């Protein structure tokens, strides 16, 4: 009989109402797959959990101990060892009762105590937001599961039972738990290959968060089942005959895509339900890998293949260990279907993931490619500025819509879609990412922002003198790359802000004839939520507080009687340099300080300029007549008197020009040739306005200085295809 397309996901709702597992039933379940299980310890843990949770009740009105017992029951479906089952029974005792970790250790041993401790949430997180609490709890879970993957399996069982009883919770709490499940726990289940658990978690969360969409898809699936009630058995029978006729022993079943997966694909592809081709799929299971490819040959020789619908996850497995061949064909009865071909062993791994090839026998941990991502999450944890940033980058890392690329040695690297060579470099190793200067994709030099495709071979070029660029953060997509880049930028900017802030304060205190010392600043650290004096310097340098804020805190009775003199002083050069100091691109700044050029005025060597201390960006250089400067007229302490250094003209700078170009064939070519003849390069071109006979263009041109730009403008003015040209002074 054909497998019903809409099969229950792991457990059906009728299981929710089953009576709680009795003590002997739980022990019998464990003994059924592990005859050597510690029966006495299991019995003791069952009784211990009931006693400790006695008098506690869940929102459903059930005794609280029903929850850990049900969690233990789910773990038996994973066929886990006795220590895991016991930890499942005890997972809430330390958090919700007077039990201590030491007590658990004394009664049940170190292994169980370590598992329970990994599952115990942070006891008290005072005065912190809900998102921060979630992030810190997830951080602790990650650290625990990096030592022992069983922590994650128990946590997933815990979340699975909580989701099954979600309908008993208040509405606002249901939404929060469902969103957390979709964001974190379902992707975690997918990462360790536990498809059944992932599907059930997503189904319950989807129904809670997007009820209308869920109900609509369920209604369409019901209609599809009614319409295809006769077709499905016929397709299965036809595929079985195809295999039998070619001497292939196989089991053919049918299935439909989970509702949430259908909805996500509709969102991603902006497609309707009817446009999706893989709602109905058929699975062919065979004995060995050779038979998989033989079955594929039979399918492709008999049925037309749908372009771009073939994926070979046997030769290139997913990071979670998933293996199968997927192909889309116009199959029996001229029906468009997806066919999945795999071995029976692959099918077991596909459904149960890491639990299908459990290896905790005699203290041996399960190892494999499934756990590389945990190490990558740990690197993100080390580099994140705070738990919330860690959680954000972790979500980026866990979603699993991937492309697969190769190193020059043939090693496989799985990356999210949209990844670039920089993402690839960080996936290889953090050190490779930090020192990346270029990349070859399939043997050809490619820009670092190139989007990688399935099967690309990527060769990363590195240099010891290279450092991560803030620009990379704009195009990388992996959490690991973003975390590493932001960490470097934070560290670099802080050093610059500390130096700048100290210089500002020293100058200001000296001008006002007031003592400037660590002793004076220590007394006001609390005023600015600073843990060190350097924190105060950094905040001043970043522009979060002003030098006058610090001065008034240090000397509350001081009267501001020299404002005019102060303003003039602060407009003077703040940083005097020795004559022997090397020339800088910008004079008047600390060497190594982060410098940005205003996109509003595009200053060039030869322009009179001024520096503005900008929050989070170091110093921004503007033309002296830039209209944006009016925004800073009330904060004179942020103004720096700067000038171009001797070597500034040796660098390439971006200028923006406005051109009115004739709308005639070859005009744009003439324009670009004229600019090229002047030794300049067009870096960006935008059509700002289109008239009947003319185009108004905004063109970014790479030049050396104002004089170079003026030569270009003069050359363009002499062209018959250019009606007018001028320097564009606003963004």
pLDDT at 616: 59
Per-residue pLDDT tens digits for 642-697: 888 777 777 788 899 999 998 888 888 888 888 988 888 888 888 888 777 788 89
Q: Is residue 2 part of a domain?
A: no
For residue 288 the two structure tokens come to 């060995």
Question: Is residue 388 scored above 80 in pLDDT?
Answer: no
Q: Which CATH number does the domain housing residue 684 bear?
A: 3.30.70.260
Are residues 638 and 578 located together in one domain of the fold? yes
- pLDDT > 70: what percent of the chain? 79
Q: Is residue 346 part of a domain?
A: yes
Q: Are the CB atoms for 63 and 57 separated by under 8 Å?
A: yes
Three-state DSSP state, 74:
helix
For residue 652 the two structure tokens come to 């390439």
Q: Is residue 363 part of a domain?
A: no
Length of the chain measured in residues:
731
Determine which of 176-185, 610-619, 690-699 has the lowest per-residue pLDDT on average.
Answer: 610-619
Range of the domain at 589: 489-644
Q: Is residue 362 part of a domain?
A: no
Name the residues annotated as catalytic: 95-96
Cα separation, 186 vs 572, in Å, equals: 59
Are residues 148 and 117 located together in one domain of the fold? yes
Determine which of 220-229, 336-345, 361-370 has the lowest per-residue pLDDT on average.
Answer: 361-370
The residue assigned the tokens 């041109």 is 701
Other beta carbons within 10 Å of 269: 10
124 Cβ contact partners less than 8 Å away, ≥ 6 residues apart: none
22 Cβ contact partners less than 8 Å away, ≥ 6 residues apart: none
The enclosing H or E element of 255 equals strand 251-256
Mean pLDDT value across residues 556-576: 48
Residue 552: alpha-carbon gap to chain centroid: 43
Are residues 194 and 318 located together in one domain of the fold? no
Mean pLDDT value across residues 319-337: 85
- Whether pTM > 0.75 for this model: the answer is no
Per-residue pLDDT tens digits for 455-472: 788 999 888 877 888 778
Are residues 179 and 39 located together in one domain of the fold? yes
Per-residue pLDDT tens digits for 586-600: 777 766 567 888 888
pLDDT at 274: 64
pLDDT at 425: 92
Alpha helix (H) residue ranges in 148-210? 150-164, 171-180, 186-191, 195-209
pLDDT at 118: 79
Q: Which CATH number does the domain housing residue 464 bear?
A: 3.10.20.30
Going by pLDDT thresholds of 50, 70 and 90, the confidence category of residue 14 is very low
Q: Are strands 325-330 and 336-343 parallel, antiparallel or unpaired?
A: antiparallel
pLDDT at 391: 53
Per-residue pLDDT tens digits for 214-248: 888 888 888 877 766 678 888 899 999 999 999 99
Q: Are the CB atoms for 318 and 414 separated by under 8 Å?
A: yes
Q: Mean pLDDT over all residues of the chain?
A: 79
Are residues 204 and 341 located together in one domain of the fold? no
Cα separation, 570 vs 511, in Å, equals: 9
What would the DSSP string read from start to end of 453-493?
-TT-BEEEEE-TT----GGGGGT---HHHHHHHHHHHHHHH
Q: Are the CB atoms for 318 and 39 separated by under 8 Å?
A: no
Cα separation, 389 vs 220, in Å, equals: 39
Question: Is residue 711 scored above 90 in pLDDT?
Answer: no
pLDDT at 652: 84
Three-state DSSP state, 545:
coil
As for how many domains the chain has, the answer is: 5
């Amino acid at each position: 009989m054909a497998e019903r397309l809409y099969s229950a996901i792991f457990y059906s709702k009728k299981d929710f109402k089953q009576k709680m597992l009795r003590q002997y039933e739980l022990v019998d379940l464990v003994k059924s797959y592990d005859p050597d299980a510690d029966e006495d310890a299991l019995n003791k843990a069952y009784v211990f959990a009931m006693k400790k949770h006695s008098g506690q009740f869940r929102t459903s009105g059930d005794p609280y101990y029903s929850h850990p017992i049900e969690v233990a029951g789910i773990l038996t479906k994973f066929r886990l060892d006795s220590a895991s089952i016991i930890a499942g029974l005890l997972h809430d005792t330390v958090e919700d009762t007077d039990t201590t970790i030491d007590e658990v250790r004394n009664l049940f041993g170190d292994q169980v105590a370590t598992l329970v401790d990994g599952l115990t949430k942070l006891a008290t997180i005072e005065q912190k937001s809900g998102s921060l609490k979630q992030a810190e709890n997830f951080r602790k879970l990650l650290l625990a599961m990096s030592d022992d993957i069983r922590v994650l399996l128990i946590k997933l069982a815990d979340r699975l039972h909580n989701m099954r009883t979600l309908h008993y919770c208040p509405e606002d709490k249901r939404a929060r738990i469902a969103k957390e499940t979709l964001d974190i726990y379902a992707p975690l289940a997918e990462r360790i290959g536990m498809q059944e658990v992932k599907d059930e978690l997503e189904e319950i969360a989807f129904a809670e968060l997007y009820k209308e969409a869920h109900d609509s898809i369920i209604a369409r699936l019901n209609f599809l089942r009614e319409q295809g009630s006769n077709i499905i058995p016929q397709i299965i029978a036809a595929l079985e005959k195809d295999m039998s006729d070619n001497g292939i022993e196989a089991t053919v079943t049918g299935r439909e895509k989970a509702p949430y997966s259908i909805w996500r694909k509709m969102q991603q592809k902006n497609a309707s339900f009817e446009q999706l081709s893989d709602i109905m799929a058929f699975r062919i299971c065979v004995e060995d890998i050779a038979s998989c490819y033989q079955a594929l040959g039979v399918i492709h020789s008999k049925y037309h293949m749908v372009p771009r619908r073939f994926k070979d996850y046997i030769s290139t497995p997913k990071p979670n260990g998933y293996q199968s061949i997927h192909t889309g064909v116009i199959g029996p009865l001229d029906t468009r279907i997806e066919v999945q071909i795999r071995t029976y062993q692959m099918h077991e791994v596909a459904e149960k993931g890491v639990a299908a090839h459990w290896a905790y026998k005699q203290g041996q941990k399960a190892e494999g490619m499934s756990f590389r991502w945990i190490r990558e999450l740990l690197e993100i944890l080390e580099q994140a500025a705070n738990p919330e940033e860690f959680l954000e980058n972790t979500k980026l890392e866990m979603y699993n819509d991937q492309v697969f690329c190769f190193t020059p040695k043939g090693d496989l690297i799985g990356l999210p879609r949209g990844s670039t060579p920089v993402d690839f470099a960080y996936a290889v190793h953090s050190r490779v990412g930090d020192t990346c200067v270029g990349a070859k994709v399939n043997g050809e030099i490619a820009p670092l922002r190139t989007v990688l495709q399935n099967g690309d071979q990527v060769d990363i070029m590195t240099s010891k003198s290279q450092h991560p660029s803030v620009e990379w953060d704009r195009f990388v997509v992996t959490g690991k790359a973003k975390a590493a880049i932001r960490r470097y930028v934070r560290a670099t900017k802080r050093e610059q802000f500390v130096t700048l802030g100290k210089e500002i304060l020293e100058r200001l205190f000296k001008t006002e004839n007031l003592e400037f010392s660590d002793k004076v600043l220590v007394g006001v650290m609390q005023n600015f939520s600073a843990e060190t004096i350097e924190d105060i310097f950094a905040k001043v340098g970043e522009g979060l507080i002003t030098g006058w804020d610090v001065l008034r805190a240090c000397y509350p009775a001081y009267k501001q009687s020299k404002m005019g003199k102060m303003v003039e002083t602060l407009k003077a050069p703040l940083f005097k340099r020795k004559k022997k100091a090397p020339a800088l691109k910008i004079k008047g700044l600390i060497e190594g300080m982060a410098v940005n050029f205003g996109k509003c005025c595009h200053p060039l060597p030869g322009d009179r300029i001024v520096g503005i201390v900008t929050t989070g960006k170091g110093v921004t250089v503007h033309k002296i007549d830039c209209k944006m400067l009016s925004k800073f007229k009330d904060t004179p302490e942020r103004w720096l008197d700067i000038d171009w250094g001797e070597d500034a003209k040796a660098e390439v700078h971006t200028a923006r020009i406005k051109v009115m170009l004739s709308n005639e064939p070859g005009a744009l070519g003439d324009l670009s040739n004229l600019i090229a003849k002047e030794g300049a390069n067009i870096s960006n071109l935008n059509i700002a306005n289109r008239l009947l006979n003319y185009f108004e263009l905004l063109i970014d041109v790479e030049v050396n200085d104002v004089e170079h730009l003026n030569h270009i403008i003069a050359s363009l003015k002499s062209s018959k295809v250019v009606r007018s040209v001028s320097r564009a002074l606003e963004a």
